[in-house]
Structure 1
Amino acid sequence: MKKILAFAGSNSSTSINQQLLDNVLGRIRSHEIKEINLTDYPLPIFSEDIEKNEGFPINATIIKNLILENDALIISVNEHNGGPSAFFKNIIDWLSRINKNFLEDKKILLMSTSPGKRGAQSSLEYTRNIFGRFGGEVVESFSFPSFKDNFDDGKVINEVLDMGIEDVLTTFAHQIEN
């Protein structure tokens, strides 16, 4: 049994990425999952001056330690204007300053959704690319399009998308076991 840390990269109380994450986590039975809400770990906007004068914020260190304590990550990233939200990018900025390889040896399932047909693909691609720079390995990813048309009351209502998620989870589970 592997330990998995899961979170959405959104700070919205009505996050559709959080809803998608909750659906996916409800399907995983054979691993220990710790789900966190990143808004429980507020951070100042990254600044070299803050780092120099005050050091690393304790919440950044807590998030880093949570990542270290787990074998794998499941992350759902949101998109603002074609990229990850400033909220999520700020967390990555702080973590990478504490340790450039803060994702070292972590296998990652990365997903995204949006109300649009592209399902936050730009944010997904950006995040997939930068995670490799920090030592992480995105072993599976998927973009969930048109959230409001394909998801209702905590469930995926599009049968094809639902089967696709099951396939991704099967592959991810296999990858983290090796």
Structure 2
Amino acid sequence: MSRKILAFGASSSRHSINKKLAVYAAGLFSDAMVDVLDLNDFELPVFSVDKEANMPELVFQFAKKIDECDLIVMSLAEHNGSYSAAFKNIFDWTSRLPERKVFADKKMFLLATSPGERGGSTVLETAKKRFPFNGGVVVSTFSLPSFHQNFKDGMGITNEDLKKQLQEIIQKLEF
């Protein structure tokens, strides 16, 4: 039976570099079916306690995607040192589902990238510490610095050292 990966970039950008990285990384797993999620398909009103009594159907659909996978491969966009507004919003909504941990005790491979040299490392560290409280079993992390210098569409990671580092992480991951 094939393993199922849910891959997405935690960004609403139509040209998300984090989505590109997540899809690329998920594609490196052998014998796995990859379901690519686009946060733009889950546009929701801004979460507030005043609105949570009317839980949007999209929140249940997002949670179902998590429930149906064996591994979450998520690449986090870093906005001012934290999560993107689009991701934080779906995260907040999902956290309010009754008797639910956001990530349902699923294994997670967390990635981040940015145009800069730090490669989204601040948001990656935040998520690594936060997600276990929300049912995320973080099995590994990877940061790709200077995305535009180290990644090309159709080729993936072009820096051989970084490519090897990612491949070694993936070879060791079990799910």
The residue number in structure 2 matching 1:102 is 102
The residue number in structure 1 matching 2:87 is 88
- Matched to 1:98, the amino acid is L
Taking structure 2 as the reference length, what is the TM-score of the superposition? 0.93
Taking structure 1 as the reference length, what is the TM-score of the superposition? 0.91
The residue number in structure 2 matching 1:116 is 116
SS of the equivalent of 2:51 reads helix
Task: Trace 1:135-174 onto structure 2 (pairs within 5 A).
Answer: 135-154=135-154, 155-172=156-173
Task: Trace 1:15-26 onto structure 2 (pairs within 5 A).
Answer: 15-26=16-27
- Structure 2 CA distance for partners of 1:153 and 1:71, relative to 1, 3 Å: closer
Contact 2:103 2:135 in 1 (8 A): yes
SS of the equivalent of 1:49 reads coil
How far off its partner does 1:163 sit? 0.1
The residue number in structure 2 matching 1:9 is 10
Contact 2:70 2:107 in 1 (8 A): yes
SS of the equivalent of 2:103 reads coil
Higher mean alpha-carbon deviation, 159-168 vs 12-21, is at 12-21
Deviations 1:151-175 (A, max 9, x none): 1233211000000110111122xx2
User: Which ranges in structure 1 are unaligned for 5 or more consecutive residues?
Assistant: none
Q: In the aligned structure 2, how far is the partner of 1:22 from the partner of 1:65? A: 19
User: Which ranges in structure 2 are unaligned for 5 or more consecutive residues?
Assistant: none
How far off its partner does 1:23 sit? 1.7
Q: In the aligned structure 1, how far is the partner of 2:27 from the partner of 2:67? A: 23
Q: Percent identity?
A: 40
The residue number in structure 1 matching 2:60 is 61
Task: Give runs of ≥4 in structure 1 deviating > 3 Å.
Answer: none
Contact 1:140 1:171 in 2 (8 A): no
How far off its partner does 1:76 sit? 0.7
Q: In the aligned structure 1, how far is the partner of 2:82 from the partner of 2:102? A: 21
Contact 1:71 1:107 in 2 (8 A): yes
Deviations 1:30-71 (A, max 9, x none): 11221111111111110111113xx21110110001111112
SS of the equivalent of 2:109 reads strand
The residue number in structure 1 matching 2:44 is 43
SS of the equivalent of 2:96 reads helix
